[in-house]
Structure 1
């Protein structure tokens, strides 16, 4: 204004020059503003697109197929030292080991076959090797030889890493954990036809099939104060089972379970926790009639047996509890590996995966949790022995033609599949398939559970209860404030509610978790009483106000009636909490929470969806209220005045004219509030038990996608499966908000076109 006044006081020519200057400057500012808005908008779009593609970049490797690449092929090292019983690769994939039937151990370079070291097992003269068995995946590197004189030798290979002149060198060696002298399993001198081993530093369990019996021996080390070496204490037991038909034996890593496979296709499951009195828990036929068990192996963790049969099927039988709470074997899944008998199963040492070979040399790599075949190769040669490296990134195959093949394997994220992320999975030791998120454990043989379904469910559940609280309060409050409330009162109420939106969500979460949750738990009956009595109290006051004399009613200016409700609401709330104690004693046996559990079977967690609904609803109310109130208040006055002039009541005008005209803005307010509820992190993180359960009960906890990312991302190893699945959760959350916002914009535009003619 001062510039215009100064311009008017100037001479004419100067006025024209100044006017041109100001006009040009205004055009420049308009152009800068226009291009600034365009650049800013395009920048936001580019940022969103870059975020989307970065999420895809991190998530994409989860769905890359596994691959295998041949590295080398060579003749069996030291073939003259005997037939191969077992192959093994060390962790760095540099050295491999071949165990022979003559008691020779050959260490050689995995890539070239060059012999590094040969050692002979300490077998007494005149005694031959009659059986051999490796330990379970948990006892990798430990082996047992059964001898013809009834003895057994336990050996352990080791790979010691040294650095000379900054060059890494791996030196192999053999050790005898229980001594070089054979342990006499049976004193009769009967050969050990089958052996199985569970080894630990302080306790070793050996099962042996000999003379038509299954003999169980437990060795425990006891250290004496006066002896340098620990003495072995021995405990023997015979199993009450017919041993003639036994073809495979396995002992789990805890030394508490023994599994015997028979020629008839059955598995006998023994509890050997008490080594002096083994108990048969279960005898189960695990293959169809007419088929036989061709291979038996533990999956990593020793909770599951992988049973291969002569039809080319590999079934997973896992320990679980039955209806009587007894631990039994249950078939949880099966893999059709081949149309020919499977002759080899090699389990991964660190994941729930395994490798199979059939008689024709067809190789398959599978993951049990993901329930999918990851890799398939046909070597077209009959396998003699096969080995999978500890990191499952290399394999060795010795074939019947006297050749060893060394392959590199790329299989980074086998646990992930569409089924394991979104479907029910039957995990080990579970009674049935379930949706589970459990990404870590203290045990190395843990089965990761990466189901995003409970997280998505928790996200929608939290948003539902938050909107259930926020929508009625905010929308009805917006209608009243914009249309019925006095202007002076509106000028005080609206800024106050909008100021609530400035409260940090971490403060709301802190108050909800440490104050609101214990308060609601203690006064649960009062909360429900208040939900019932507040509407009744408001209606009774409204009836009283309608029946009050006009002289009293006219003393209150129009639009200020809501102020009279404040003491009514306070009194009704106080009365609800006061009456809740005698109500609980009279109707619910003294505790409403215990009554829910006892009579309805509904559990109660202190931090639950009710707390989230109240706290997050409180956070969402300012957003919805502010946008909806602006939309309603912006409805042109000629529409409302015209409706009233035609005889419509104020409520008819609101429902038939105002809300319809303001519906695009109201819908936008609701969708923006929903987006805030879906993406909220700190409130749900602090106000819930953060448990990923799928229970719609308002008294149970939950875990949302955003809270899960905040909790677990700092602990996730970069580029691990866990790390990438968290990014997948972020991508799902991104898509949620994108889809909701897109739908909201489409619906808002249609509402605007439909009611713009009013």
Structure 2
């Protein structure tokens, strides 16, 4: 077919005396064909490169995020049966120091062995200065990280000591020297004056006051011990105060003291907890810990910070409890969440010293690794063939020592990101010191005891909230302006208006954010009635001006060139704005007693922040308008004039032609403009960073602040430790933002294609 056409063209050209096959023209056609192929190849490679880059970004974000959702891993070292262990008594307590090099072991005879935590060789042994004829019958540990231990003796006395580890570097070699210290003296403290054996003991030191409590059968003994040291002489003075509390009717199984010395928890034999207020010396209440009457409490411990109680039972369950306030303001002990490890009784629960995680050991030799806030069971693994005698965990929570069957065995625990779970990221979580579950983002706190609050829900909500209010302002104005300039406005005026609006897109968003934060936010706060009057009366004023214009004599209306009527609205809008803002103070006095902000907060109960969603909507809407306007205007202007002229020729009015022909034909482009504007609003960073209070709350109130995913990444990424949980959660925020944009763009493209097919016949 092409050959026939070429022959026909050649014959025709020859008949006219023209030659299209000269060497120069052939060379020109070859060069043009080469350029076409090169352009096609470059466009294809560029498009594939963009797709490949986006795909690589997605997989890189997923690569950073994925390790957070992996469980823990426990790796065993070879068990060791040291010779010194055969002469030692039954273990009551074991611990490992910070560097995982020295272990400590305490037995019932008061002997403390310090040993190498790697090869289990004995380093030194110290005997506690116990009174003659006494032995240790109970052990209590202070808060994680304190290394403070109280031992209850068979004669009703208590001895408090600390195991310490001095680090020196002789000849640039690290040497750890373990020792014992007695901050309250080597003389035992009498807790039970009758001399009965202390079955259980608890200890807590707060601001120089040592709180000791012990039990002898059903009798409860509480002693507050103050310690003052003379800075000149070094002399230590002790003061004692005995606290009388109601006696317990059932045998006592566990004693726990709140580190702030506010509560004393007494776990008794009927699986109930008696909570005493140490400040009022009264019983707060008795709480049933286990619903099943056949289940018993086998062990209890506190988490880091001492707020949460972890209760282990005889059927392998572990429950978390802490004090919360009810509607009347009274504090009650509340069950928060539960874990199930197996079917064997829980024999030991050890909290981590730097996180809200813990490990548990049951009677069958299984060890479980858990995290309370994330409500996550990370690992359940057997560490001994039978019941283990004692376990210890290092301060870094990466090494575990187990004594079982006359052997010591070290285990390496890999558990880098226990704080993250689907529930902690997207569901309500009941945090310590909160009265109910809530969505909270608070990645840092003033102390290390606080729970990590890494909920992405308020950030995603803030992102959508900011985009919603921005689009609420930008979309109607931009689309209406695009339709008017493309369909009604005179070409000469359109040539001036369209570049000016598109030029707004070049304005840096940091300038808009700076302006919104430092000027617009305080101005809106001081002129709230004027702002709302402006939003209400501007469209009313435009409609009234249009109505008045239509009632003017035709001779006057014809004086304005066709398509230039919009210029007459400029003084109308300026006049409405000036009157509205000028009357703001008078309206505030007449309607709101001179303070609209106080009226909103006090009378309507609507909180008001100076940097709020209204300011964000105004500033970000101004930034989004050029994007939507430019694309929508091109879509409307690109509608073939033949469709418009044909509709008008058939008798349709210009308005009917606009609504039934032009807008429908341009709807794919208008929809794309709105989606692109939505994507711009969702990904905006600087405006929401500077124009909001950056408060991560979930409230649709237009007068409340917000925090978006993009702004959160910008603020906190420089402060996060590379590879840490906080760092990876920020990458997860970026992945959520990218996925949201991808899904929105995909849906937008599908809708656009359907609209294009539907209205292609117009």
Q: Distance in 2 between matches of 1:225 and 1:398?
A: 43
Identify if the C-alpha distance between structure 1 residues 320 and 568 changes in structure 2 by more than 3 Å, giving closer, same or farther. same
- Count, aligned residues: 742
Partner of 2:140: 133
Contact 2:357 2:371 in 1 (8 A): yes
1:192–1:186 distance in 2 versus 1, CA, 3 Å:
same
- Cα shift readout 1:310-358 (whole Å, capped 9, x = no counterpart): 2322111012212222333211111122223211111111111111222
Quote the Cα distance in structure 1 between the aligned partners of 2:582 and 2:19: 83
Equivalent runs, 1:296-375 vs 2, <5 Å:
296-375=300-379
Counterpart contact for 2:206–2:261, Cα < 8 Å = no
For the 8 Å contact 1:221–1:233, the answer to whether it is kept is: yes
User: For residues 399 and 576 of structure 2, what CA distance do their matches in structure 1 show?
Assistant: 73
1:31 deviation in Å?
3.2
1:182 to 171, 183, 188: 188
The answer to whether 1:279 aligns with 2:282 is yes
User: Residue in 2 aligned with 1:239?
Assistant: 245
1:15 Cα offset (Å): 11
Counterpart contact for 1:315–1:331, Cα < 8 Å? yes
User: What SS class does the counterpart of residue 76 from structure 2 fall into?
Assistant: strand
Please say if residues 131 and 146 of structure 1, whose CA atoms lie closer than 8 Å, have aligned partners that are also in contact.
yes
1:396 aligns with 2:398: no
- Tell me the SS of whatever aligns to 1:407: strand
* Length-normalised TM-score, structure 1: 0.94
Partner of 1:8: none
Query: Of 24, 33, 37, which aligns to 1:27?
Result: 33
Q: What does 1:74-473 correspond to in 2, within 5 Å? A: 74-75=80-81, 77-139=84-146, 141-199=147-205, 202-210=208-216, 213-224=219-230, 227-242=233-248, 245-272=251-278, 274=279, 278-288=281-291, 289-378=293-382, 379-399=384-404, 401-473=405-477
1:670-709 CA-to-partner distances (Å, cap 9, x unmatched) read 1111110010001111111111111111111111110010
Segment of structure 1 superposing worse, 743-752 or 16-25: 16-25
Q: Give the deviation of 1:749 after TM superposition.
A: 2.0
Is the CA contact (8 Å cut-off) linking 2:251 and 2:269 kept in structure 1?
yes
- In structure 1, the partner of 2:67 is 61
- Report what 1:729 is aligned to: 733
Is the CA contact (8 Å cut-off) linking 1:138 and 1:301 kept in structure 2?
no
Deviates more, 1:469-478 or 1:334-343: 334-343
Measured after TM superposition, the shift of residue 411 of structure 1 is 1.1
CA contact (8 A) 1:72 1:112 kept: no
Cα offsets for 1:366-408 (capped at 9, x unmatched): 1111112110113341122112222221222223x32333211
Change (3 A) 1:53 1:740: same
Distance (Å, rounded) in 1 between the aligned partners of 2:21 and 2:216: 118
Alignment-derived partner of residue 4 in structure 1: none
- 1:571-610 alignment, distance < 5 Å: 571-610=575-614
Q: Distance between the aligned counterparts of 1:750 and 1:510, measured in 2? A: 41
Secondary structure of 1:357's aligned partner: strand
Equivalent residues in 2 for 1:530-549, closer than 5 Å: 530-549=534-553
Checking the alignment, whether the CA contact within 8 Å between 2:157 and 2:191 is kept in structure 1 is yes
Aligned residue among 45, 50, 57 for 1:51:
57
Shift of 1:265: 1.6
Shift, 1:283, TM fit: 2.2
Q: Is the 8 A contact 1:132 1:143 kept in 2?
A: yes
Q: TM-score, normalised by structure 2?
A: 0.94
Residue 629 of structure 1: which of 627, 633, 658 is its match? 633
SS at match of 1:137: coil
Q: What is the DSSP-based 3-state SS (H/G/I as helix, E as strand, rest coil) of the residue aligned with 1:369?
A: coil
CA deviation string 1:632-683 (max 9, x = no partner): 1111111111111111111111111111111121111111111100100011
Question: How far, CA to CA, are the matches of 1:178 and 1:243 in structure 2?
Answer: 32
C-alpha RMSD of matched pairs (Å): 2.1
Residues 661-740 of structure 1 aligned to structure 2 (within 5 Å): 661-740=665-744
State how far apart, in whole Å, the 2-side matches of 1:187 and 1:451 are. 52
CA–CA distance in 2 between the matches of 1:641 and 1:416? 62
What is the CA-CA distance between 1:213 and the residue it aligns to? 3.4
Please identify, of 174-183 and 606-615, the stretch whose mean Cα deviation from structure 2 is larger.
Answer: 174-183
Shift in Å at residue 600 of structure 1? 2.6
1:506-521 maps to which residues of 2 (within 5 A)? 506-521=510-525
**Secondary structure of the corresponding residue to residue 442 of structure 1:** coil
Kept in 2, the 8 Å contact 1:138–1:253? The answer is no
Instruction: Tell me the alpha carbon deviations over residues 690-744 of structure 1, each in whole angstroms, 9 at most, x when there is no partner.
Output: 1111111111111111001001100000110111111011111010111111112
For 2:448, what is the secondary structure of its paired residue? coil
Tell me, yes or no, if the aligned pair for 1:247 and 1:261 is still in contact at 8 Å: yes
Q: 1:41 aligns with which of 47, 58, 62?
A: 47
1:232 CA displacement: 2.0
Could you tell me how far apart the structure 2 residues matched to 1:299 and 1:365 are?
A: 13
Is the alpha carbon distance of 1:253 and 1:138 closer, same or farther for their aligned partners in structure 2, counting shifts above 3 Å? farther
Cα distance, 1:190 vs structure 2? 4.1
Distance 2:136 2:431 in 1: 39
Please say which of residues 595-604 and 646-655 is displaced more in the overlay: 595-604
CA distance in 2 between counterparts of 1:150 and 1:726 reads 54
Post-superposition CA distance 1:564-599 (Å, at most 9, x none): 111111111222233343433333333332222233
CA distance in 1, matches of 2:25, 2:294: 103
